[in-house]
Structure 1
């Protein structure tokens, strides 16, 4: 049984990936500092899979604590690294937090990978590395431009750190550049649970529908798009979790063509903020009150993926629809409010 460390494994994408790994027979060790996640997520994971993963509360910015952890877990076969601060707007307001958290944690992980000869790592990257793209859909060959936010810049720097480390060692890495994850597990046992005011669109939608937020804010209606709102590629989080398992199997089976590989993970279809709101209203029958406000600093106009490489090389393809994702997100919201 292969043993995999999942950092940030109680977070939104991390928890769904832990479920997917355990359902495939992997032994999972989760570390999380619980800054943006709840220990209760372990209960949800166990309810779905029948097994609670091993868990340790760990601050990855603490170099000595990370070293201590790896001395106790020298039998790892690979790492999936999710743990990071991830809000574009917050990164603009507090860049040093993002540079400290997102860079130090990866460096300390990689130092221990080299020391303990852990051969494989999957990095949770982002389409923000592309900045404002020249062409759509975006392929992996698109230039990595100057980032529009400190968050995006940390992802670019992290990829450079990984590329350089792989070139200087025996480490194999895959960076999954994903687009906008939405939705929840069909069981409604786990889902997106932001701390404080949601930074992402869909939890803001579901909280507005549940009456927790008075209204939904649309950041800008003067973008050069059909309805004036930003366009993103929204992927069901369960499809995204599956991509991590497939990428991990590629590493474990030593199928990589290069020591450091990158793959876009999205649906290949762009949807505007207004279209997502309308799709939620159609799916649930709930009318959402929303108001247009100023553009949000750091946002790009339109981003959606060309997923040909992931489809052909990884053999992975997004399967779930926008409607499925929104329905599952609403089911999750209702479940957590009824507890």
Structure 2
């Protein structure tokens, strides 16, 4: 690149008599090479300015120009890195023949060479292009950062909306949990109440069964008591009838005894031939007792008919032995009270 620059400078000196249009055409044709050469020259210039500032710093004579060049060089070092340092070393070795900075500016101001003016313009345009490029990069970075910020803001908005939704959902779930807890408590109390009611119903059922049994037994007892009372009533009636019958028989026996006193030792026969003698008195008494039990309470007239048929024998003709034996038979199931 340095050799190309020297060749271009030599060609420019050889063609000094050419017109400005030819030089401009040559410049535009060789613009990429010139831009690279000017970038190299710019870096070399910055390195020389830095060295000059360092020499001034050693002599403790700082100036505003040295500070300005030092800041520019530091920025360039931050951007370029080690390439700028290497290029500055190369520029120092290749441009060691040039005059000092003051003499260079003095010569530029004194001579007013159009090539130097064009070089300055090219350097300014290069600087402008570099600055514009940096500005474009900064703008791109700003746009990207703004896009990223917008995306982050949108993400934050989405996250905030999701957070609010989750908070609402959490609150709703909390309300549902509280409602379920209350419902569970109500169901637990209701279950205990139902258990108590079931126990009460079981006790009531047992009591009803016992009451039913008591009722059935009481009904049976009442029926039995009614039967007992009926039997007692019938027993009383039978006993009264028997007592009346005994009284009537006693009266009749007394009357008959008075009538048959003169006929001792005589025998009377039954009309149907049931009893023939006094030896068959026991069998006749048993048959008469069976007939009386089957008659069922109408013993008044029937007993009188049987009495006429019975053969009276012994006991002085009174007939009391047979009557006493008849009374001793168990005719009725229940005795008198």
Whether the TM-score (by the shorter chain) exceeds 0.5 is no
**TM-score, normalised by the number of residues in structure 2:** 0.20
* Larger relative contact order (CA 8 Å, sep ≥ 6): 1
Greater Rg, structure 1 or structure 2? 2
Q: Which has the higher strand share?
A: 1
Q: Which has the higher helix share?
A: 2
